[in-house]
């Protein structure tokens, strides 16, 4: 039986969903994969819970009752003391700061599986240093969920690149939240601000919807794909159309934005009125390998196209290659949500396990 010992950082929606999925799939993984996934340490930004045996369905209560303030060194000392094999640090946070720990974790014997996309969108210098450290220590870094949640976008792109298939262009709807917003806005006769409020209530947007509307998250995803193909780009080089008016942007409070978000309605209504009968608005990311340009913007799409026919909060990625010509490979499905993201992380853990010794 191959055992993987997971130290989970992040107990929010994704981290919590991952624990439940591992608990549910435990017996199946043992029987079908010969794999046992153990989670001896669970931590958020301030508190850690250490458990020598498998986590239980009551882990949340145990975490609150028996968790204590910690430093990263406490975790490193504990796993060293327990002599755990096949250590994996799972980053289910969205923290800029936690990524500072990656190099230390790798040097201390951890593989990394990350839903957090920050490490792959930092400077090229950090990006290369991390990969150099991984190679030097013979460790793996998996991050399929960085772009399409549970969709195999990075894996598909990497397979094309490794087989020397020339990828010429990528375009798609990268954001599940913005997909839902524009799908609904174009289908229904409602004000943009009303649709935005509904998306927030359903949990599709960040607590501050301006994070989604800024397009920066889509810009990060686009940069990750570009770097997978060898583009030497920085995040500030991605051209991003910010959908938040200057008087409502980050320099003003969230409370001010919520009070005045109806200011968005007129501009978006005008865009909608300019559409032809067979068109819809979509929030699109585009990467052109010939020019090296990465762009995030609003686009008018035919209703019958892959992007125009999207429903609910689905994402769609079109990958154009030399062999496929003008007929792209299309990867389409749920591109957001805690459950699908956690499932993608679990899939990465299983893939990682296949690479590790028994």
pLDDT over threshold 80, residue 53: no
| C-alpha R_g of the chain | 21
Torsion angle of the four alpha carbons 147, 152, 153, 155, in this order, in degrees rounded to the nearest 10: 110
Q: What is the pLDDT of residue 207?
A: 84
Q: What are the C-alpha distances in Å from 2 to residues 18, 37, 91?
A: 19, 9, 22
Choose the catalytic residue: 139, 221, 261, 332.
221
Q: What is the pLDDT of residue 100?
A: 97
Rounded mean pLDDT of the chain?
A: 94
**pLDDT tens-digit series, residues 111-142:** 999 999 999 999 999 999 999 999 999 999 99
Q: Choose the weakest-confidence range: 27-36, 110-119, 335-344.
A: 335-344
Residue 139 bears catalytic tag: no
| Position 337 confidence tier, pLDDT thresholds 50, 70, 90 | confident
pLDDT over threshold 80, residue 250: no
For residue 200, the surrounding DSSP H or E stretch is helix 192-201
pLDDT over threshold 90, residue 336: no
Question: Among positive and negative, which fits the CA dihedral 173, 178, 180, 185?
Answer: negative
Under DSSP, is residue 278 helix (H, G, I), strand (E, B) or coil? coil
Contacts (Cβ under 8 Å, ≥6 apart) of 210 = 244, 248, 249, 250, 254, 257
Q: Choose the weakest-confidence range: 40-49, 106-115, 328-337.
A: 328-337
**pLDDT tens-digit series, residues 147-178:** 998 899 999 999 998 899 999 999 999 999 99
Neighbours of 245 (CB within 10 A): 15
Alpha helices in 202-318 (DSSP H): 210-213, 216-228, 254-260, 265-273
> With left for phi above 0 and alpha for psi between -120 and 50, is residue 30 left, alpha or beta?
alpha
Q: Identify the bridge partners of residue 171 per DSSP, sorted by sequence position.
A: 286, 318
Q: 14: annotated binding-site residue?
A: yes
Q: What is the pLDDT of residue 224?
A: 98
Q: 13: annotated binding-site residue?
A: yes
What tokens were used for 111? 């593989």
Share of the chain above pLDDT 90, in %: 88
Q: 302: annotated binding-site residue?
A: no
User: Rounded to whole angstroms, how far apart are CA atoms 132 and 192?
Assistant: 46
Q: 129: annotated binding-site residue?
A: no
pLDDT over threshold 90, residue 55: no
Under DSSP, is residue 206 helix (H, G, I), strand (E, B) or coil? coil
Q: Decide which of 335 and 205 is more confident.
A: 205
Alpha helices in 1-121 (DSSP H): 13-28, 59-66, 72-82, 102-107
User: Rounded to whole angstroms, how far apart are CA atoms 339 and 22?
Assistant: 12
What tokens were used for 257? 């934005």
Q: 176: annotated binding-site residue?
A: no
Helix, strand, coil percentages in the chain from 3-state DSSP, rounded to 5: 45, 20, 35
Q: What is the pLDDT of residue 212?
A: 93
Q: 250: annotated binding-site residue?
A: no
pLDDT over threshold 80, residue 56: no
Q: 12: annotated binding-site residue?
A: yes
Domains, the chain:
2-149+339-355 (3.40.50.720), 153-336 (3.30.360.10)
pLDDT over threshold 90, residue 353: yes
pLDDT over threshold 90, residue 334: no
User: Rounded to whole angstroms, how far apart are CA atoms 109 and 83?
Assistant: 11
What tokens were used for 105? 């974790």
């Amino acid at each position: 039986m191959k055992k993987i010992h997971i130290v989970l950082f992040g107990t929010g929606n994704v981290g919590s969903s991952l624990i439940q999925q591992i608990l549910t799939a435990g017996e199946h993984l043992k029987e079908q994969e010969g794999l046992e996934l153990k989670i001896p340490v669970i931590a958020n930004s301030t508190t850690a819970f250490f458990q020598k045996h498998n986590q239980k369905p009551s882990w949340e209560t145990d975490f609150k009752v028996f968790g204590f303030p910690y430093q990263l060194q406490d975790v490193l000392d504990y796993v060293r003391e327990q002599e755990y094999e096949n250590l994996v640090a799972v980053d289910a946070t969205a923290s800029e700061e936690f990524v500072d720990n990656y190099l230390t974790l790798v040097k201390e014997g951890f593989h990394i599986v990350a839903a957090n996309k920050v490490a792959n969108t930092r400077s090229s210098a950090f990006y290369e240093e991390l990969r150099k450290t991984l190679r030097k220590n013979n460790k793996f870094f998996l991050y399929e969920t960085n772009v399409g949640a549970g969709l195999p976008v990075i894996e598909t792109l990497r397979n094309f690149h490794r087989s020397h298939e020339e990828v010429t262009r990528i375009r798609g709807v990268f954001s599940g939240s913005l997909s839902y917003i524009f799908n609904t806005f174009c289908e229904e006769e409602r004000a943009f601000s009303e649709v935005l409020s509904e998306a927030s209530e359903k949990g599709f947007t960040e607590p501050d919807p301006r994070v989604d509307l800024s397009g920066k998250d889509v810009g990060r995803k686009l940069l990750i794909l570009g770097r997978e193909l060898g583009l030497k780009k920085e995040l500030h080089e991605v051209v991003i159309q910010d959908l938040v008016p200057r008087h409502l942007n980050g320099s003003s409070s969230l409370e001010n934005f919520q009070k005045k978000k109806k200011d968005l309605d007129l501009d978006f209504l005008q865009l909608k009125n300019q559409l032809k009968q067979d068109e819809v608005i979509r929030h699109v990311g585009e990467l052109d390998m010939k020019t090296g340009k990465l762009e995030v913007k609003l686009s008018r799409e035919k209703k019958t196209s892959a992007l125009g026919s999207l429903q609910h909060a689905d994402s769609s990625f079109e990958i154009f290659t030399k062999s496929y010509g003008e007929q792209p490979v299309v990867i389409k499905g749920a591109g957001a949500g805690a459950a699908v993201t956690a499932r993608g992380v679990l899939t990465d853990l299983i893939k990682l396990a296949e690479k590790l010794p028994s």
